[in-house]
Structure 1
Amino acid sequence: MADVNFSKVIQNISLIHTRASPRDKLWIQRLKEEYQALIKYVEINKANDSDWFRIESNADGTKWHGTCWFIHNFQRYEFKLQFEIPVTYPMTAVELEIPELDGKTAKMYRGGKVCLTTHFNPLWIKSNGKFGIAHILALGLSPWLAVEIPEMVDKGLIKAKNC
């Protein structure tokens, strides 16, 4: 099942062809491709009634912020999401941060950084710079939320946002 979902995501989200970091002259081209992939991913999510995040960047595309949410037992759990593009990007994945969950799960580093090293980072490395922000959200953060949020709810560590 996981392989089928992985294949669907890879097929539907455009790979990024420009290999550039924020320090490179081609960064603007890379950023355009990142936005195109994100727009496509959002369209896919909306078409499948699985909209689960909103993000935006600063003017140069190096700092991102927004919200992500997860529905569990008909309750919405919403969190602030932020990350910066490292200077070694795209060879190094971004570190997604959900500061309000800091210390609530073992699968997180100090400062609310989501632990993706075991499951997602090998995929990122294999992509050889062709994965982007949409891929880390789809293949990294989404599965992390699906596993961690129900566990934190069951332990009473987080409460649903009132709608």
Structure 2
Amino acid sequence: MTTDEVDPPLDERTTQRIPVLNVRAGPRDGGEWIKRLKEEYTALIHFVKMNKEADGDWFTIASDSTGTRWTGTCWTFHDGLRYEFGLTFDIPATYPVTHPEICVPDLDGKTAKMYRYTY
């Protein structure tokens, strides 16, 4: 097998199967934001379907009516136990230039590096 025949990494194959987002707009951009939000929902629905088909379901998520406040649950299994955590994030006004900061309140204070909860 040559290097040209090697499969791309799994994460690359996954991202290639998710619809591309073409509208570059954020919450302050009115109608363009609605178009972007529709693209976001389409990509998210596609990603969730892919995960379920591969028996790799690991989160649920929903937004408020404006698409700027998201809440949900994520989970993982370790040593036969299921660990479930709530998550939340706000879409910054300058999105997509500025990325959202995901907060996992259940993990607040358990590590200095991540999981800040400021709401």
TM range, normalised to the smaller chain? 0.7 to 0.9
Match of 1:56 among 62, 69, 80: 62
Taking the aligned partners of 1:84 and 1:53, their CA distance within structure 2 comes to: 17
Taking the aligned partners of 2:11 and 2:63, their CA distance within structure 1 comes to: 26
Q: TM-score, normalised by structure 2?
A: 0.86
> Gaps (5+ residues) in structure 1?
113-163
Where 1:60 maps in the other structure, the secondary structure is: coil
Match of 1:8 among 13, 17, 20: 13
Q: TM-score, normalised by structure 1?
A: 0.64
Aligned residue in 1 for 2:38? 32
Q: Deviations over 1:68-110 (max 9, x none)?
A: 0011112110000100000110011110010110111233153
Where 1:97 maps in the other structure, the secondary structure is: coil
Mark the structure with the bigger radius of gyration: 2
Taking the aligned partners of 2:67 and 2:82, their CA distance within structure 1 comes to: 29
Deviation at 1:64, TM superposition (A): 0.5
Instruction: Classify 1:43/1:109 alpha carbon distance in 2 versus 1 (closer, same or farther; 3 Å).
Output: closer
Aligned residue in 2 for 1:95? 101
Greater relative CO (CA pairs within 8 A, separation 6+): 1
Count of equivalent residues: 110
Where 2:37 maps in the other structure, the secondary structure is: helix
Taking the aligned partners of 2:46 and 2:115, their CA distance within structure 1 comes to: 30
CA RMSD of aligned residues (A): 1.4
**Higher relative helix content:** 1
| 1:18 equivalent in alignment to 2:23 | yes
Where 1:34 maps in the other structure, the secondary structure is: helix
Q: Deviations over 1:18-76 (max 9, x none)?
A: 00000102000000000000000000000000100001000010000010001111211
Deviation at 1:15, TM superposition (A): 2.0
| 1:76 equivalent in alignment to 2:105 | no
